[in-house]
Structure 1
Amino acid sequence: MKLAVVILALAMTGCATVEDIEHTPATMSVMSGKSPREYADCFLGKIADSRKPPLVEAHHEGLQIIVAQKFSADPAAILNIENRSSGSSIKVYERLSNVPLRPKDVQRAATACISG
């Protein structure tokens, strides 16, 4: 019964745009000693097994990575990676940030690439 409620809630959420996702609270906000390009390359390598190739764009003083949902091309997560003097700052925004049963592959890949 609980699974049916979760599936129904996910089905009713509809599609989200990049702007919608960016206006939610960040699910992760960290600093890394890696440059934005090094961090992005690491993240792309870690997420490759579970998602379609993400879209990488120049964004302010760094990069933005748009990760698609597992079964559609709609955005599921946004990573904003900004250049800092000693590395980069990373903010992760996820579409279903308030759903505890959401896939954790984006968060695991983002965390795995922090140090290095």
Structure 2
Amino acid sequence: MKWMLAALALALGGCVSVSELEQSHETLDVISGKTPREYADCIKQHLADTRGSLVEEKRGDGLRLIVPQKLTAGSGPAALVDIDKRGSGSSIKLHERLNNFPLRLGDVRTAATKCISGS
């Protein structure tokens, strides 16, 4: 039943662009002791089995990861992970599509949280 609701929400949600995700409230805003490269590589490793290829963009001293949707390919990004250099570590902001929908898939947030200090 949960999957039917999630599929319905995705179908009704329409396409979301990167710029629309940038304007959404962050679902995660943290600091990590990892460099932007270390953090980005960790996220990619954790999402390798559940998502398609993440798009990586260089942004100043940091990186942006654009996470594709899991169920509906080609309909815009599911999440943005902005990783900015901060001292010897990173400042991380996660923007997710359907960020206030309780049945959204949790693999991106789980990966982002695990990568803060773990591997």
The answer to whether TM tops 0.5 is: yes
Deviation at 1:13, TM superposition (A): 1.5
Q: CA offsets, 1:25-64, max 9 Å, x none?
A: 0000000000000000011000101000100010133000
Residues 46-61 of structure 1 aligned to structure 2 (within 5 Å): 46-61=46-61
Q: Distance in 2 between matches of 1:48 and 1:3?
A: 22
* Aligned: 1:87 with 2:81: no
Q: Distance in 2 between matches of 1:93 and 1:10?
A: 16
Give the aligned partner of residue 103 of structure 1: 105
Give the aligned partner of residue 29 of structure 1: 29
Deviation at 1:10, TM superposition (A): 3.0
Q: Distance in 2 between matches of 1:99 and 1:26?
A: 14
Q: Distance in 1 between matches of 2:12 and 2:99?
A: 15
Give the aligned partner of residue 12 of structure 1: 12
**3-state SS of 1:44 partner:** helix
Note the residue ranges of structure 1 that are not aligned, 5 or more in a row.
none
Identity over aligned residues, as a percent? Answer: 51
AA paired with 2:98?
A: L
Give the aligned partner of residue 62 of structure 2: 62
Q: Distance in 2 between matches of 1:4 and 1:75?
A: 21
Give me the TM-score of the superposition, normalised by structure 1: 0.91
Q: CA offsets, 1:44-103, max 9 Å, x none?
A: 000101000100010133000000001313200000000011300000000110100000
AA paired with 1:19?
A: S
AA paired with 1:78?
A: L
Judged with a 3 Å threshold, the aligned counterparts in structure 2 of structure 1 residues 65 and 6 are, in CA distance, closer, same or farther, namely: closer
Note the residue ranges of structure 2 that are not aligned, 5 or more in a row.
none
C-alpha root-mean-square deviation of aligned residues, in Å?
1.8
Q: Distance in 2 between matches of 1:3 and 1:65?
A: 26
- Count of residues paired in the alignment: 116
Judged with a 3 Å threshold, the aligned counterparts in structure 2 of structure 1 residues 6 and 39 are, in CA distance, closer, same or farther, namely: closer
Judged with a 3 Å threshold, the aligned counterparts in structure 2 of structure 1 residues 32 and 4 are, in CA distance, closer, same or farther, namely: closer
